[in-house]
């Protein structure tokens, strides 16, 4: 529901008719401060604003969920799968496993690389960047749905 002042100075309240009926109801309340006061009173009487659903953040799987699906459906042999599990559970998932995959940004990846550079060499970091493979697999499987 919206309370607005038209170009000609009249105050109006308009809203959709509830329960699936088509159309919009326009209620006019005159000009000036008295019209505005009447429109605001009508707005509070209807109380439609309180029924709006709350907006939530982006939905989608966490990085942890994507990594589980990646390991399940990728078809690894036993030794590489074990190495991937160790790498994920010990290093990667504690850093970014809780984040929604759609919210992972370049800054998150840069932060991860900077964190790992304190203790290991670049070759180890490159090996750990299965993160990109997990994300691309999740994106390509989402596109197939």
Q: Alpha helices, DSSP H only, in 60-130?
A: 63-73, 78-87, 93-96, 106-117, 122-128
- pLDDT of 143 over the 70 cut: no
CA 138/CA 94 separation, integer angstroms = 19
In this structure, are 82 and 109 located in the same domain? yes
The mean pLDDT of 57-69, rounded to a whole number, is 85
Q: How many CA atoms lie within 13 A of 8 on its CB side?
A: 5
CA 31/CA 29 separation, integer angstroms = 7
The mean pLDDT of 125-142, rounded to a whole number, is 78
In this structure, are 42 and 81 located in the same domain? no
pTM: 0.55
CA 79/CA 51 separation, integer angstroms = 54
pLDDT digits 0-9 by tens, 6-46: 889 999 988 777 666 677 888 889 999 999 999 888 888 87
Residue 106 is assigned to a structural domain of this protein: yes
The total of structural domains in the chain comes to 2
Residue 58 is assigned to a structural domain of this protein: no
The mean pLDDT of 105-109, rounded to a whole number, is 88
Structural domain of residue 109, as residue ranges?
Answer: 63-143
Residue 126 is assigned to a structural domain of this protein: yes
């Amino acid at each position: 529901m919206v309370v607005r002042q038209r170009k000609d100075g009249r105050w109006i309240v308009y809203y959709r008719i509830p329960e699936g009926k088509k159309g919009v109801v326009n209620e006019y309340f005159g000009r000036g401060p008295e019209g505005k006061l009447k429109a605001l009173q009508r707005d509070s009487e209807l109380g439609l604003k309180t029924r709006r659903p709350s907006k939530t953040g982006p939905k989608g799987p966490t990085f942890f969920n994507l990594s589980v699906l990646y390991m399940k459906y990728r078809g690894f042999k036993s030794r590489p799968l074990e190495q991937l599990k160790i790498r994920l559970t010990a290093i990667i998932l504690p850093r970014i496993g809780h984040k929604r995959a759609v919210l992972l940004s370049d800054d998150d990846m840069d932060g991860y690389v900077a964190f790992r550079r304190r203790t290991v060499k670049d070759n180890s970091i490159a090996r750990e960047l299965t993160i990109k493979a997990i994300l691309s697999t999740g994106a390509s499987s989402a596109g197939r749905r």
